[in-house]
Structure 1
């Protein structure tokens, strides 16, 4: 769920705020603006200081209380964050953003019952505010209320943050397609495309004559061919092929009436033979050890990646487990952490060799296990049916819910969760314990003598 802090005027820069503070020291509005700008740069402790300075001067400054709540929530100090958010609402009960920030603080804490109560009231008062409907969608989906959650999820189209292309013509409403051409459009990340691809082969059963799907190049070799899809086209292709109705891929669960008890199985992916041959060369011959892939970060462009990701250093403990061999599947800037390791660290870096998701899929399907924080590779491994242990932040993506070690979306997935304290150490302790046990069982099985009948 997106946090919604108050923002200073777009023309105000950090340098300008500092200059104005020289002329007007102790101005609470300037101190609040300084806090927002520092928070934008990731300097949250510095932002906290400025909000507190503003409140020392003006204890009734609702904006500063609300912004203070958001930064505290992002720092995992949930009880204090919620208390500050309540103060902001008490000072400015008619301000929609203070109310929205209260729901954000409740959401970050995982108090969905209280959050839903507040959101229901706000939606009644402001039925045309898409941020409220979107926030309620996140809560309902986390709670497994897919029937109402996916209805609210449609509110994303009216968010100011929604930057995906809106196609012309009628949207499919989930009814019979009766021989029509359907265009399925993309939004959000690679993991979301892998997650929702399970619905693509189902469109023909609804009567679609032709199914056209937008697809990013990185997934093309893995998706084509796919049962039930007639053509894949580039995202935002122009001119657009002929179609009668269109649907975002993220709206398909709603149109197919998905409930938590009727989640379809993952899509069947096509791993090319040449990718499998390449993967076999990269992984080398079998030596009896567990082949374990690791990923510690998703895309840094994702707003909450700093919360869901961790560091390579935390995974190094697994390299010391007897009978385990680690392979890094990490891509992007976090790969730099591998280059900083001492020579001889027993991790094979495969990221530079993986050109697309077909290459990654070919490696993943030949591994015994993938251990990772949440990112697109988790959806890939889950779609392939490969065992994958996903290490989750306290309030994860809605697909994972808030409790339990499993998700109906991926039967091969096992979930390890942070507690409310948002500490990674207990999560890694649990994973290390289970990985040691798995490696020991593998070693015991290999040591048993073969018996001829």
Structure 2
């Protein structure tokens, strides 16, 4: 009897059960279920399509591409599956194929929100920002209440240098649900005078973003009024930044997130400050004074060898929790050939889960790892002051080195942070920073070869007394 009942369960019924597991986030179980159904019904396009979605969620992009292509063999030209294929191809940096798939999907179903939105994202990751805007605005028109395409539109505008529009649109980030709600409901500061009031400036994203925008904090105090009634400024930021920020003009007090016991009248996210002060490439305030305490300088002297060799700090990954880190981070093995350049010593500044990559790659004997011994950004700053150069993929240390005016070579993936827009080798935000860019998405080898050649030249420049340039 039980066998007869099981025989009556159709592939479509099993598909519904597998899809329910998928919706519940039980991805591994859903994949197992989809594969079992395909043993019964290998021509079930819906199962192949859903299997592709599940595999992409797991990061198995090549397998997802195969699943989507199998589905398209069964239902050729299906716009939804074609768009999903474009997403997986984009994840693999096969951008030309991805854009072709997205273009075909949009042509077949121009009134589909997801298809137009995903096409816009693929164009943005291909650094085609004008075309990206067209698709994102089409998606916004199809679904005006969804904040996500409006947020991605903000990023495209900043890449294009359309700062007035970009900063206004950048505020959409608070509607996406990806940032935590504030614990106390107080009015948002818009840049008005605040004499007699207390303003809380709070960090909201990564350490690098706080370092980048700390340059605007001294401008806040200019709007606080004067004398005994002048407004107060409290900066809420994590402990690793507090020593570093302690000399920034205009901060009356610093607190860690969730620890402010002061009543405050207004608040502002630190990443909203560029918009409030109308920041553009032409009117940037300089980075603020960053404090490096004596204990940090002494520690740096101990951690680095005191000789005349060309000291290079390396960082190969930003925060692993940042969803775009996979595209910007690289393996530490790419950096090891720099140690072959005559006169160079490498110091690994990497912290966190990826710091162990050095030993795995066999570089522990030839690279001095000091990142995990640095307990604050003030200590990292002290080390940066002792190094001749930092070579790294984009993360918070790049912002710190740039703010200190230290030589830093920032190795960028194809779809960069908006700060590094365009094709130049420099950015007005950090004059001491040189940018090395991918010509093609995912292709790091030419970038590292270019850097190695430039490093040889830099070592020679130091020997000639011309470093830093």
Give the TM-score of the pair, scaled to structure 1: 0.92
**Structure 1 residues 166, 412: CA separation in 2 closer, same or farther (over 3 Å shift)?**
farther
Q: Is the 8 A contact 1:385 1:412 kept in 2?
A: yes
Bigger relative CO (Cα 8 Å, ≥ 6 apart): 1
1:4-153 maps to which residues of 2 (within 5 A)? Answer: 9-10=23-24, 13-23=27-37, 24-153=41-170
Residues of 2 paired with 1:265 and 1:288: CA distance?
31
Number of the residue aligned with 1:218: 240
Query: Residue 199 of structure 2 aligns to a residue in which SS?
Result: strand
- Indicate the residue corresponding to 1:373 in structure 2: 393
Verify: 1:284 aligned to 2:305, yes or no. yes
- 8 A contact 1:74–1:108 mirrored in 2: no
Distance 1:393 1:421 in 2: 7
Alpha-carbon RMSD? 2.0
**Corresponding residue number in structure 2 for 1:439:** 459
Contact 2:420 2:427 in 1 (8 A): yes
Q: Deviations over 1:179-229 (max 9, x none)?
A: 421111221111111111111121111226100111111112211243100
Q: CA deviation at 1:141?
A: 0.6
The residue aligned with 1:295 is: 315
How far apart are the structure 1 equivalents of 2:127 and 2:270?
Answer: 27
Report the secondary structure of 1:327's partner residue. Answer: strand
Q: What is the CA–CA distance in structure 1 between the aligned matches of 2:465 and 2:220, rounded to whole Å? A: 45
* Conservation of the 8 A alpha-carbon contact between 1:122 and 1:132: yes
- For structure 2, the residue ranges without an aligned partner over 5 or more in a row are 1-20, 226-230
TM-score by length of 2: 0.89
Q: Distance in 1 between matches of 2:257 and 2:36?
A: 49
**In 2: Cα distance, 1:66 partner to 1:342 partner:** 41
Q: 1:351 to 1:283 in 2, by over 3 A?
A: same
Give distance in 2, aligned partners of 1:139 and 1:33: 30
**CA contact under 8 A between 2:314 and 2:350: conserved in structure 1?**
yes
Answer whether contact 1:405 1:415 (CA < 8 A) is retained: yes
1:167, 1:246 within 8 Å by CA — same for their partners in 2?
A: no
Counterpart residue number, 1:451: none
Query: 2:318 matched to 1:318?
Result: no
Deviations 1:422-450 (A, max 9, x none): 3111111111111101111222349xxxx
Go from structure 1 to structure 2 and tell me whether the alpha carbon gap of 1:63 and 1:34 turns closer, same or farther (over 3 Å shift).
Answer: same
Instruction: Encode CA deviations 1:34-53: one digit per residue, 9 max, x unaligned.
Output: 11221122111011111111
Task: Provide, for residues 87-135 of structure 1, a one-character-per-residue CA deviation record: whole Å limited to 9, x for no partner.
Answer: 2223433321111101011111111121122223443454332112111
Q: 1:73 to 1:401 in 2, by over 3 A?
A: same
Shift of 1:249: 0.6
Partner secondary structure for residue 38 of structure 1 = helix
- Are residue 328 (structure 1) and residue 348 (structure 2) matched? yes
2:293 alignment counterpart: 272
* Equivalent-residue separation in structure 1 for 2:179 and 2:342 (angstroms): 48
Structure 2 counterpart SS, 1:203: helix
Please, which moves more after superposition, 410-419 or 223-232?
223-232
CA–CA distance in structure 2, aligned partners of residues 366 and 228 of structure 1: 28
Q: Which residue of 2 aligns with 1:4?
A: none
Cα displacement string for residues 280-325 of structure 1 (whole angstroms, at most 9, x for unaligned residues):
011132x221111111111111111111011111111110111211
User: Structure 1 residues 66, 324: CA separation in 2 closer, same or farther (over 3 Å shift)?
Assistant: same
Structure 1 gaps of 5+ residues are 1-6, 447-453
Going from structure 1 to structure 2, the CA distance change for 1:169 and 1:430 (only over 3 Å counts) comes to same
Q: Do residues 346 (structure 1) and 366 (structure 2) align? A: yes
